[in-house]
């Protein structure tokens, strides 16, 4: 199907957008079916015209390569536009005319090139911000919404380094790892794309509204394949996940429980022929279980941004600040205000979760003294309190 630079600006534009909207959002037409029809007929107008031809009978046999509409699909496309469909067209046209907004169709040259290759690509993408990012080399970074402090630090620093090396960081604007990845990519020279599971005019979760504004206004881009006004619904997020993996060269999973939605993104990446990367963690940590499972199934274990860049054959990233084993400058700076008594406790802590009683036993201290020292270290940002009363040292 030929690509176009942009949709024409005239009444013809409304007709063309109407055809795309009709094909993309008509009930009964799946994304896979719409993509197959479009690839065969070339344009949504041609698909709509074909819907007025009687569907082929089953006697044609499965050997035919020509995708056919079922009777129900043809009837749905033949039906006159409803008031709801016309209102959506009018709203979408008005939205696309606003500064910084762009409606990308599958035929647009600005449509993400890798996303075009998947089996069920979105026919339409609403883009707010710098849509030129969608054509650049990208990496997805995903993980738990209920991330640990360490997980968020890892996501932020990997995103910062990888964006600085020229990769656009793609994530889903969720809490936890997603938000940290977006924020890390916005620091410095890199940038980020947020693929959301709602309409482009709906921010979910609402607590990330400020981050969404930063992305749109600071050189990033927000993307949605869903119709304007679409609220957050559980089935939409796996659809969003396959778009994240589809537009990227690979996906990095930072933290994930065994049933995390991030594993859906990783599975989509594998099915789409993308690379899958995972950061390992403690064998005792719930949010490491999903990453360890991915590594057992063939994901590349990564410890630094350079591991990813080497796998993708991209030049070296800038060194991630304060993550070298021999560099304790960040930790030292945070400990300057601590009492000397807190030092032995920090030295006794590891990067595996450990309880207060175990720490007190190691240091031969009473629980109250141990608790006080842990509180000081937590306030200094070098120790994290985990669910269940355990603590672990943070890698700074």
pLDDT tens over the chain, length 396 residues: 444 444 444 455 778 888 898 888 888 888 888 888 888 888 888 888 876 655 554 444 444 566 677 788 788 888 887 888 889 989 999 999 999 999 999 989 899 999 999 989 999 999 999 999 999 999 999 999 999 999 999 999 999 999 999 999 999 999 999 999 999 999 978 899 999 999 999 999 999 999 999 999 999 999 999 999 999 999 999 999 999 999 999 999 999 999 899 999 999 999 999 999 999 998 988 999 999 999 999 999 999 999 999 999 987 544 444 443 334 444 454 444 444 556 677 777 767 777 777 777 777 777 776 777 777 777 777 788 877 777 888 876
Give the CATH number, domain containing residue 304.
3.40.50.450
Do 145 and 272 fall within a single domain?
Answer: yes
Exposure pattern of 154-173 as b/e (b: 16+ CB <10 Å)?
A: bbbbbbbbbbbbebbbbbbb
CA pair distance 125, 222, nearest whole angstrom: 10
Give SS3 for 13: helix
Give the CATH number, domain containing residue 376.
1.10.10.10
pTM: 0.79
Class of residue 336 by CB neighbours under 10 A (exposed 0-12, middle 13-18, buried 19+): exposed
Do 335 and 307 fall within a single domain?
Answer: no
- Residue 80 structural domain: 1-95
Place of tokens 């994530």: 171
In a domain, 242, yes or no: yes
CA pair distance 159, 179, nearest whole angstrom: 11
From 70, 95, 120, the end of a domain falls on 95
Do 191 and 336 fall within a single domain?
Answer: no
Region at 300 (left for phi over 0; alpha for psi -120 to 50; beta for the rest): beta
Please count the structural domains in the chain.
3
From 311, 342, 365, the end of a domain falls on 311
Q: What count of other Cβ atoms lies within 10 Å of the Cβ of residue 297?
A: 13
């Amino acid at each position: 199907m030929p690509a176009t630079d942009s949709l024409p600006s005239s009444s013809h534009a409304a007709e063309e957008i109407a055809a795309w909207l009709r094909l993309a959002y008509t009930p009964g037409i799946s994304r896979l079916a719409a993509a197959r029809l479009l690839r065969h007929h070339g344009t949504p107008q041609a698909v709509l015209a074909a819907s007025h031809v009687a569907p082929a009978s089953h006697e044609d046999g499965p050997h035919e390569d020509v995708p056919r509409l079922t009777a129900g699909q043809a009837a749905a496309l033949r039906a006159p536009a409803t008031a709801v469909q016309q209102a959506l067209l009018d709203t979408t046209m008005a939205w696309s005319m606003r500064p910084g907004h762009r409606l990308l169709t599958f035929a647009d040259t600005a449509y993400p090139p890798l996303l075009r290759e998947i089996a069920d690509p979105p026919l339409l993408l609403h883009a707010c911000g710098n849509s030129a990012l969608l054509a650049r080399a990208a990496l997805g970074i995903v993980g738990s919404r209920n991330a640990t402090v360490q997980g968020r630090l890892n996501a932020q620093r990997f995103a910062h380094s990888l964006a600085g090396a020229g990769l656009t960081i793609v994530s889903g604007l969720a809490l936890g790892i997603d938000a940290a990845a977006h924020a890390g990519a916005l620091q410095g020279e890199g940038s980020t794309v947020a693929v959301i599971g709602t309409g482009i005019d709906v921010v979910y979760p609402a607590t990330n509204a400020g981050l969404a504004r930063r992305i749109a206004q600071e050189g990033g881009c927000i993307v949605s394949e869903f119709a304007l006004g679409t609220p957050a619904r559980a089935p939409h997020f796996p659809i969003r996940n396959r778009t994240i993996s589809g537009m990227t060269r690979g996906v990095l999973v930072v933290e994930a429980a065994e049933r995390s939605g991030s594993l859906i993104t990783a599975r989509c990446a594998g099915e789409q022929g993308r690379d899958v990367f995972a950061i390992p963690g403690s064998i005792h940590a719930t949010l490491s279980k999903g990453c360890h499972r991915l590594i057992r199934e063939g994901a590349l274990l990564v410890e630094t941004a350079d591991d990813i860049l080497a796998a993708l054959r991209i030049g070296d990233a800038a060194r991630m600040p304060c993550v070298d084993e021999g560099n304790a400058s960040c930790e030292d700076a945070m400990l300057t205000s601590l009492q000397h008594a807190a030092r032995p406790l920090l030295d006794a802590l590891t990067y595996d979760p450990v309880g207060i009683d175990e720490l007190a036993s190691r240091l031969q201290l009473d629980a109250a003294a141990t608790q006080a020292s842990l509180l000081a270290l937590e306030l200094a940002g070098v120790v994290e309190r985990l669910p269940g009363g355990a603590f672990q040292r943070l890698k700074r």
